[in-house]
Structure 1
Amino acid sequence: MTDGPANQSPKPLRSAKRRLIFVLIAGVLAIIGTLTAGYYFAVRPVTLKIAVGPANSDDLRVVQALAQAFNNNNQQHSQVKLRPVPTEGATASAQTLGEGKADLAIIRGDLDVPKNAQAVATLRKNVVVMWAPPSKGKARKGAKITKITQLAGHKIAVVGRTPANVNLLKLILQQYGVDPNKVEIVQFPANEAADAIRNQKADAYLAAGPANSKITIDAITASSRDGGEPTFLAIDAAEAISQNHPAYEAAEIPAGSLGAANRPEDEVKTISFAHHIVARKGLAESTVAAFTRQLFAIRQQLKTDFPLAAKIETPDTDKDATIPVHPGAAAFVDGEEKTFLDRYSDYIWWGLMALSAMGSAGAWFAGYLKQDERNTNTSQRERLLEMLKTARQSDATDELDQLQAEADDILRHTLDCYEHGAIEEGTLTAFNIALEQFHNAVADRKALLLSMPQNLQRAATQFRAAGTA
C-alpha cells in the first residue's frame, strides 16, 4: 500500500454555494438598507429656523401661525416644520440669515439683502402713505401743505422706529429736491403711533405698511382729531424712483382704502416695496420646494385669523429679479418640482448597477472557490484510477479493505462537490464509471484470493515483493 496525502481521507470543504449565497444576500441587504435609509432621510420632516421680527409685529404673528400649522401633527405628508427665531426687525433677520444662524428669514426688499439669500415668496406688499393733517380747527402756521416739495422747513413724523423708514423718507425728499437736513424728522413706535400723534403735532406724516394697515389708518385718524380731512401727498415721481431703486415699485393707493370718510377720495400715486421670505442659498432644492408647496397650501386656511396670510404671493422668477429666486421655489412656481424618483433616479440606477456588478463578482468568487474543489476532485479521480490498478494486483484482503474505505471517502467528497456545483453531471458520470470498475476489481480480487491456498498467496506476495526490490 502506498503512502502519501492522496491516501488520506479528504476533509469536507465548506460549501461554496452557501458562501456565495451568504455574500449575495449580504450585498442585497446592504443595497436595500442603503436605499431605505436614503428614502427615510429624503422624506423625513425637516425643521427650518426662520428669523422674523420685531416682537409683537404682524410678521411674527403670521410666522407663528404658519409654524403651528406646519408643525400640527394632524398635517399628514408634512415634510417641513418651522421654528421661529425672533429678532429685533428685518435688518436683524437679514443679518441672522447672512450669518447662517437661520434657514429662512423675513426681510425688507429695500434693505441690504444678504448675499446668500434667495427669494421663496413675497410675504406682503407695503405702500408708502404720506399726508398732511387738516388745517381746520386749531389753525397751523404757514400755508397748507399739498405737495412734497413744500415740506422743507417742516416737521415730519415717521411711524415706526426702524431707521429704514427714515431712510425711505429721505430718499423721497431728495427725489423732489428737498434737502433732508432742512426738515425735522421724529419717529413714533408703531404700536404707540396713535397716542403719540395726539400728543405731538407734526406738519406731515409718513407710514409704510400693507394697503389696509390698521396702524396706518389709526395714525391718519389720530392726526385728524381737529376736524377736517387730511391731505394725501402723492408721490408722482414713483416711476423715477423705481427706475433708480429697483427695490421700489410705482403703486397707487385705491380710493376709500384708508378708513372712514372715503379716504382718500381719489387714487393716490405712491411707491411700494415688499417683505420677502428668503432662504439660504445652500438650502436643498427639494426642501425649499416642499416648504413653498406647504406655504401656499396653508395660507388660505389662515386668512380668517390672519388676513395678511392671504397676501402671500409667489416670488419673481425672472433672471433680472431684485432678489434671485431659490431654485426650489422656482421649481414649484414653474410646475417643475422633482418627485422622489426624479431626484434619486441616478442613485437607484447606480444601486442596480452595483447589484449587477456584485452578482458578477459573486459568480466569479464562487467560481474561484469551486476551483480548489475541482482540482481536488480531479486528483482524487486520478487516485481512484491508481487504486483500481493496485486492487487488481493486491495479494491481501486487508489492503483491499483499506482501498475500499479510501474509495468511500472519495465518493463522499465527490458527491459534496456535485452538490456544491463544483463539478458537472458529466464529470460525476465519468467518476461513477471509474468507481464501478474499482468496486468490480476489488470484488474480483477478493474472490480470487479467497479461492487460493494460503501458501500460494504468501508465495505470490514474496515474488511480487522481490520483483519490486
Structure 2
Amino acid sequence: MQPKFTLPFVLLSVLAAIGFTVQWVHSQNRVHQLVIATGSKEGEYYAFAEALATVVSRHHPKIKITVKETAGAQENLELLDQKAAQLAIVQSDTPSRPTARAVAYLFPEVFHLVARANSQIQSVQDLRGKRVALMPKGSGSYNLFWLLSQHYGLGSQAQPGFTPLPLPPQQAYAALQQGDVDALFRVMALGNPAMSELLKTSRSQLVAIDQVDSLRLSLPYLEASTIPKGTYDGAGPIPPETLPVVGVRAVLITGEDANTEVIQEITRTLFDFRNEIVAIYPRAATMRLPESGENLGLPLHPGAQAFYDKDRPIFLVEYAEPIGLMFSVGVLAVSGLWQLRLWLQGRQKNRADLYNQKILALIEQMQQTEDLDELEAIRTQLFEILRRVVIDLDIDKISPESFQSFVFPWEVAMTTLRHREMIVMNQRTYQNN
C-alpha cells in the first residue's frame, strides 16, 4: 500500500472500530421501554398486564413495561399501528391488522349475560324488546355481542330488536342495579371480583348461552365453556347450577417490527416464570404453550417463534420415536395408554378436591375463632396451600381445569378471613372502650 493512502485507511479503521464499540455498548446498556395496551382498570387485561410487567421487570431489568388503560380491542390495535404501544391484549376473535403478530395465548374468557330477576329473561332470545347494557363501542365484548345477536335472530346494529346501551363497565353495572336496563353482556375471565359483587348485590342472575357448535360454523374461534356452580358465591351458590356458555381466548400481540430479542424474553417470562405471574394473577394458570402447527389467528412474531422452537430437535431425532412406535405399538398398548390417561386425570381431580376440602375446613375454623393470631396462622396456611397448588400445577399433578375450580374457594376463603379479622378487631375496640 502506498504511504499516502496508509494514514486515511488507518483513520477509517479506527473510526469504524469506535463506531462498532459505541453501538455495542449502547445495545448492552439500552433499557427497552414498552407500552402494553389493555382495557379498563377494572378489567382482567389490565390486571394481567400489571402482573406481567412486574415479573418481567424482576427478571429483565432492561425491559420496562408500562400498562395503559384503553377502551378496548379497537383502540389497542390503533395504538399498535401508531407505534404508541408495542404490546396489546385482544380477544382471539378481533380482526387483525397486517402488521400485527401473535406472541401467546393467555387465559380463556367467557360470555356473561346477566339479567334482572324480574325481567323474565331466561335465554338469549328473551332479550327481544329489552334494554341491554353493552360494553363501550370498539371493545371486544361489544363486537362479539352483535355476532351473537345475529345468530339468535335479534337483529343487527342497524336494526336491533332490542335497545342497546353501550356504557363503561361501572356505569353498566350501576344501570343494572338501579333497574335502568334489563340485562348486561360482557366477555371476561371467570371469577372477576366486580362481576361477583354485581351478582351478590343486585337482583340479577346469569343466563345460559348454548348453541356453541352452530356458532362455531361461522365463528370458529369460539370455544365451548361453562360457568361452574358457585363461581361467584359458594354460599349462595351463584350460579346455582353449572351453566353452559361460550368462550374466546385472550391473545398477547405485538407489531411486526418489535425487537426480536425483547419479544423472545417476554415470551420466555410468560412460561418459564409462570408461577410468579400466577401468584399475582391466579387466572394466568390457564396459559398454555401453543400446540405444534396451531393457528393463533395471525402470524407468530419471530421472537415468540424462537422461544417455542428452542427445544425442537432435528427431524430424525424428532420423528425417531413415532417411526419406531409404528412397528412396535399395537392396539393393546393404545388401550393401556388410554386407561393410564383416565387414571391420571382422576388423580389430578382428586388432588384438587383435597386442597378444596382443606380450604373449607379453614373457612369453618376462621368462622369459629376470635383470636387474631389464629387468624394470621390461617392466612399463612392459605398461602402455603396456594404455593403447593401452583407447584402441583407446574408439574402436572393437577390440571388447569382443576386449578380453576380451586381458585374460587381460595378467593372466598381470603375474603372471609379479611371479614372475620375486621369483626374481631371491632369487637376488641368496643370492649376496650
SS at match of 1:114: coil
> Match for residue 415 of structure 1?
none
2:227 aligned residue (253, 269, 292): 253
Correspondence list, 1:162-201, <5 A: 163-180=139-156, 181-201=160-180
The Cα of 1:319 is off from its aligned counterpart by 5.5
> Match for residue 118 of structure 1?
101
2:276 aligned residue (294, 301, 317): 301
For 1:85 and 1:234, how far apart are their aligned partners in 2? 33
> Match for residue 365 of structure 2?
none
The Cα of 1:311 is off from its aligned counterpart by 4.5
For 2:268 and 2:28, how far apart are their aligned partners in 1? 14
1:288 aligned residue (237, 255, 263): 263
1:279 aligns with 2:254: yes
The one-character-per-residue Cα deviations of 1:102-147 (angstroms, maximum 9, x if unpaired) are 3222223322322111111234321002243334xxxx5xxx4322
The alpha-carbon distance between structure 1 residues 84 and 173, as it changes in their structure 2 partners (threshold 3 A), is: closer
List gaps (5 residues or longer) in structure 2. 313-433
Letter in 1 for 2:203: S
For 1:54 and 1:150, how far apart are their aligned partners in 2? 29
Segment drifting more, 309-318 vs 320-329: 309-318
> Match for residue 430 of structure 1?
none
1:67 aligned residue (30, 53, 73): 53
The answer on whether the counterparts of 1:151 and 1:183 sit within 8 Å (CA) in structure 2 is yes
> Match for residue 349 of structure 1?
none
Letter in 2 for 1:200: G
Letter in 2 for 1:130: L
Aligned length: 304
2:188 aligned residue (191, 205, 209): 209
Identical aligned residues as a percent: 22
Correspondence list, 1:373-384, <5 A: none
For 1:319 and 1:38, how far apart are their aligned partners in 2? 38
Letter in 1 for 2:132: I
2:297 aligned residue (301, 322, 334): 322
Letter in 1 for 2:220: P
SS at match of 2:117: coil
SS at match of 2:297: coil
Larger relative contact order, structure 1 or 2 (CA cutoff 8 Å, min sep 6): 1
The one-character-per-residue Cα deviations of 1:370-419 (angstroms, maximum 9, x if unpaired) are xxxxxxxxxxxxxxxxxxxxxxxxxxxxxxxxxxxxxxxxxxxxxxxxxx
List gaps (5 residues or longer) in structure 1. 1-15, 338-469
For 1:222 and 1:323, how far apart are their aligned partners in 2? 41
Letter in 2 for 1:208: V
The answer on whether the counterparts of 1:71 and 1:81 sit within 8 Å (CA) in structure 2 is yes
The one-character-per-residue Cα deviations of 1:174-210 (angstroms, maximum 9, x if unpaired) are 2122225211122443234443322125433322211
The answer on whether the counterparts of 2:176 and 2:184 sit within 8 Å (CA) in structure 1 is no
The Cα of 1:302 is off from its aligned counterpart by 4.0
Letter in 2 for 1:264: P
The Cα of 1:150 is off from its aligned counterpart by 2.8
For 2:15 and 2:287, how far apart are their aligned partners in 1? 45
> Match for residue 383 of structure 2?
none
> Match for residue 238 of structure 1?
212
The answer on whether the counterparts of 1:194 and 1:218 sit within 8 Å (CA) in structure 2 is no
The answer on whether the counterparts of 2:73 and 2:139 sit within 8 Å (CA) in structure 1 is no
The Cα of 1:237 is off from its aligned counterpart by 1.6
2:240 aligned residue (265, 280, 298): 265
Correspondence list, 1:70-109, <5 A: 70-72=56-58, 75=59, 78=61, 80-109=63-92
For 1:187 and 1:259, how far apart are their aligned partners in 2? 27
SS at match of 2:249: strand
The answer on whether the counterparts of 1:145 and 1:151 sit within 8 Å (CA) in structure 2 is yes
SS at match of 1:182: coil
The Cα of 1:61 is off from its aligned counterpart by 4.2
The Cα of 1:47 is off from its aligned counterpart by 0.9
Query: Normalised by the size of structure 2, how large is the TM-score?
Result: 0.59
The Cα of 1:64 is off from its aligned counterpart by 3.6
Is the radius of gyration larger for structure 1 or structure 2?
1
For 2:137 and 2:230, how far apart are their aligned partners in 1? 27
* C-alpha RMSD over aligned residues: 3.7
For 2:33 and 2:165, how far apart are their aligned partners in 1? 38
The answer on whether the counterparts of 1:246 and 1:322 sit within 8 Å (CA) in structure 2 is no
The answer on whether the counterparts of 2:74 and 2:139 sit within 8 Å (CA) in structure 1 is no
The answer on whether the counterparts of 1:242 and 1:250 sit within 8 Å (CA) in structure 2 is no
SS at match of 1:303: helix
1:51 aligns with 2:22: no
Query: Normalised by the size of structure 1, how large is the TM-score?
Result: 0.55
For 2:180 and 2:11, how far apart are their aligned partners in 1? 82
For 1:336 and 1:29, how far apart are their aligned partners in 2? 41
The answer on whether the counterparts of 1:193 and 1:215 sit within 8 Å (CA) in structure 2 is no
